[in-house]
């Protein structure tokens, strides 16, 4: 077949029907304080890593809630577990525990057909 | 003639007293300060239309001065005891009063911003609260940060002491968002050269003409709004302040140097309300504000029969909402007295 140079573009819409909530549910069960994030960004503002590399700890919540497991796994390696974010958080979230829980379980829920 | 004791001589207490006098009752207001009018005495201009606060206060007090009710100033309530459908009230001035009904109108206190140490209030020279700024907004207020030098860049921090577990306050203080917008506009009018930024988490423009004022702040006064909560402020050697936040909408950390930092402090129930609650044996919410019987039809009723609530001792409230709540309290007291006669 003649190649016209066209290709099928992967949809960038968040397909919520495909959302796999198992990792999210596991994290929330073990660390319920994570439910109340209001996305203020205080954590990222004080983050030791965010000044230097493109790491945004606030986005961990979003990635987890949108099932972006692949990106989440790479991103989470950048955290140095210093815990400054927890000193700032107006909702008292134990973010260090959240990161540890994700690290512990993420391999179980990685999508297979990528 | 029925006697009603109103605890607190702020705008809620005074307005309730006024309406109850109109209804033909004998009213005594107990005020801990020398002067009545409460926190409104300390405010310069009111949102959303910049009405001078003293204009409202004078109008209220003039109306009150025409009425015949007594005010016990520099007096606090020590105890309230119910006996045979009467309330026996003992005051710090050793007076003993007998009342048929009691209205608690003890108001609020401002959040003490020095509790948020990371913002440097009372540590750094040019960190002030919205209440401090309000005094400086009067025509003779000095806004300079150094001799003859006005601030070139000013930042407002929303939600200081509100929506913050670290301050122990989970609730929203409701009026700070619009106060920030109002004060930012007033500053811009006084200092047209200055750049003004507001750091917010959400902007809650709940009232009539609030959203319009927010729009005007953007459209006419170039106030910049950045969505992110400040993590900390630090003072530089030239006394300017380095502030850190995340610009959450672009997803990157942000730092900025400002000459003046204004903390929009929230409301707390305060000691006066706690004391009144203890004296009257009425309950408080987790927030410290007084519990109403229900939030819809009984917002002026405490859990104790015959003890009524008015104004910001029940929740953070604006001046106009307080006046309305006070008037409805008076009506509820009046209805209750008629029913129980």
**pLDDT per residue as tens digits for the range B76-123:** 999 999 998 899 999 999 999 999 999 999 999 999 999 999 999 999
One domain, residues B254 and B303: no
ipTM of the complex: 0.86
Q: Which residues of A touch B (CB under 8 A)?
A: 38-47, 50-51, 56, 58-59, 88-92
Return the pLDDT at A112. 63
Q: Which residue has the tokens 């959303």?
A: B48
In chain B, the residue whose alpha carbon lies closest to the alpha carbon of A46 is: B231
For A58, the closest of B159, B232, B248 (CB atoms) is B248
Q: What is the number of domains present in chain B?
A: 2
Domain boundary among B204, B239, B267: B267
E strand or H helix at B81: strand B77-83
Looking at the fold, whether B118 and B261 belong to one and the same domain comes out as yes
Q: What is the mean pLDDT of residues B166-193?
A: 97
Give per-residue pLDDT as tens, B23-77: 999 999 999 999 999 999 999 999 999 999 999 999 988 988 888 889 999 999 9
Q: Is B285 found in the same domain as B235?
A: no
Residues B235 and B148 in one domain: yes
Same domain, B164 and B232: yes
Instruction: Report the residue of chain A nearest B116, measured CA to CA.
Output: A88
Average pLDDT over residues B124-153: 95
Q: Which residue, of B219, B239, B267, is where some domain finishes?
A: B267
Question: What average pLDDT score do residues B221-235 get?
Answer: 97
d(CA B50, CA B206): 17
Provide the residue range defining the domain that includes B190. 113-267
d(CA A26, CA A17): 19
Whether A47 sits inside 8 A of B253 (CB atoms) is yes
Q: Average pLDDT, stretch B249-259?
A: 96
pLDDT at position B142, please?
Answer: 95
pLDDT at A113 > cutoff 60: no
Q: Residue B266: pLDDT band by 50, 70, 90 thresholds? A: very high
- Do B228 and B118 lie in one domain? The reply is yes
Q: Is the pLDDT of residue A110 over 80?
A: no
Q: Which domains does chain A have, with CATH numbers?
A: 20-109 (1.10.1060.10)
Q: How confident is the model at residue A105 (pLDDT cuts 50, 70, 90)?
A: very high
For A2-41, write each residue's pLDDT tens digit: 888 888 888 888 888 888 889 999 999 999 999 999 999 9
Percentage of chain B exceeding pLDDT 70: 100
Out of A54-58, B121-125, B325-329, pick the least confident: A54-58
Find the CB nearest B245 among A39, A45, A89. Answer: A45
Here the CATH number for the domain that contains residue B246 is 3.50.50.60
* Region B323-329 average pLDDT: 98
Compute the distance between CA of residue B18 and CA of residue B25 in angstroms, rounded to an integer: 10
What DSSP string describes B18-77?
Answer: HHHHHTT-EEEEE-SSSSSSGGGGG--EETTTTEEHHHHHHHHHHHHHTS--EEE-S--E
Co-location of B131 and B219 in the same domain: yes
B327 and B260 belong to one structural domain:
no
- Does A47 sit within 8 Å of B248, measured CB to CB? no
What pLDDT does residue B340 have?
Answer: 86
Nearest neighbour of A38 by CB, restricted to B201, B247, B254: B201
**In the predicted model, is pLDDT for residue A114 greater than 70?**
no
């Amino acid at each position: 077949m003649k190649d016209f140079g066209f290709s099928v573009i992967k949809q960038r819409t968040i397909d919520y029907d495909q959302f796999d909530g198992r990792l999210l549910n596991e994290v929330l069960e073990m660390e319920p304080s994570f439910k109340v994030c209001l996305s203020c960004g205080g954590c990222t503002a004080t983050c030791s890593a965010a000044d230097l590399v493109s790491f945004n700890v606030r986005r961990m919540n979003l990635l987890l809630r949108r099932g972006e497991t692949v990106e989440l796994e790479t991103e989470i390696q950048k955290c140095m577990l210093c815990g400054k974010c927890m000193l700032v958080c107006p909702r008292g979230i134990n973010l260090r525990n959240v990161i540890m829980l994700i690290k512990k379980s993420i391999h179980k829920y990685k999508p297979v057909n990528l | 003639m029925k006697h009603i004791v109103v605890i607190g001589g702020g705008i809620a207490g005074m307005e309730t007293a006024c309406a109850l006098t109109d209804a033909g009752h004998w009213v005594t207001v107990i005020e801990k300060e020398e002067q009545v009018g409460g926190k409104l005495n300390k405010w310069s201009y009111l949102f959303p239309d910049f009405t001078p606060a003293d204009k409202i206060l004078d109008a209220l007090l003039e109306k009150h001065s025409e009425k015949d009710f007594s005010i016990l100033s520099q007096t606090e309530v020590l105890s309230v005891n119910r006996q045979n459908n009467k309330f026996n009230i003992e005051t710090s001035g050793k007076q003993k009063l007998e009342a048929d009904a009691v209205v608690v109108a003890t108001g609020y206190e401002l959040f003490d911003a020095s509790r948020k140490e990371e913002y440097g209030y009372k540590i750094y020279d040019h960190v002030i609260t919205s209440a401090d700024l309000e005094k400086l907004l009067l025509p003779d207020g000095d806004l300079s940060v150094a001799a003859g030098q006005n601030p070139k860049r000013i930042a407002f921090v929303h939600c200081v002491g509100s929506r913050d577990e670290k301050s122990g306050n989970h609730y929203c203080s409701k009026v700070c968002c619009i106060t920030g917008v109002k004060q930012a506009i007033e500053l811009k009018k006084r200092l047209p050269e200055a750049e003004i930024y507001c750091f917010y988490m959400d902007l809650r423009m709940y009232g009539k003409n609030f959203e319009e004022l927010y729009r005007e702040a953007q459209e006419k006064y170039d106030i910049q709004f950045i969505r992110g909560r400040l993590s900390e402020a630090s003072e530089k050697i030239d006394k300017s302040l380095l502030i850190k936040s995340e610009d959450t909408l672009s997803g990157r950390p942000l730092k900025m140097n400002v000459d003046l930092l204004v903390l929009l402090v929230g409301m707390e129930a305060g000691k006066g309300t706690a004391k009144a609650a203890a004296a009257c044996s009425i309950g408080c919410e987790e927030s410290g504000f007084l519990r109403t019987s229900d939030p819809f039809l009984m917002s002026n009723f405490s859990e104790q029969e015959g003890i009524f609530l008015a104004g910001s001792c029940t929740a953070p409230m604006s001046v106009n909402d307080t006046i309305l709540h006070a008037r409805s309290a008076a009506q509820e007291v009046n209805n209750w007295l008629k029913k129980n006669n």
